[in-house]
Amino acid sequence: MLYIILGLIAAILIAAAIMPGKYTIEKEVVINKTQAEVFTKVSDFSNYRAWNPWQKSEPTAKYKISGNPSTVGHKYDWDGRKIGSGSLTVKSLSPNKNIELSLEFIKPWKTEAQDNWTFEDLKNGSTKVIWHNSGPLPYPVARLMGPIISKNLNQQFVQGLNSLKEMCEN
């Protein structure tokens, strides 16, 4: 019996070792507003709770916004029972074109990720918005859960972009 248990543990650890150590999610949407209008909505964290799927899932979560909107250092801290705690900070940006964000999770587990946004002018008053997120999947548990994490993130990114589109267009 002991050998069976040890064999199962070894199999799980080996499976985790061969699974990807990183995830990447990328979704896009076309919003019928100009680059400047959409960029402003994303780069100002005072709009975050209106469209972000995690913040919308726990509206009673505490949050704090610091720094100036659309500038390096602008920061959004959150703390909730359901969504955990962490922060999102503007790392760099090119006005109306892209935003690079540093995403730090503190709870339920400590990790970091990169959140990047690209805004493409479609020449008809619309903007193609691309939301890209990537981060590590620590060994062994997060790697084993990687497919579930990716599936959930894909769904949440679609929800978030649809909410952003609705907020911008209304």
Q: What is the pLDDT of residues 24-37, one digit of tens each?
A: 999 999 999 999 99
Compute how many other C-beta atoms are within 10 angstroms of the C-beta atom of residue 155. Answer: 12
Q: How far is 97 from 39, CA to CA, in rounded Å?
A: 7
Read off the CATH number of the domain in which 50 is found: 3.30.530.20
Tell me what percent of the residues of the chain surpass a pLDDT of 90.
Answer: 80
Model confidence over 94-127: pLDDT tens digits? 999 999 999 999 998 899 999 999 999 998 999 9
Residue 57 to residue 66: CA distance in whole angstroms: 22
The alpha carbon torsion through 17, 54, 52, 62 (nearest 10 deg) reads -130
Distance CA 150, CA 134 (A): 10
| pLDDT value at residue 58 | 95
Domain span at residue 73? Answer: 2-169
The token pair that represents 116 in the structure block: 């990047």
Q: With 90 as the cut, is the pLDDT of residue 146 above it?
A: no
> Structural domain tally of the chain?
1
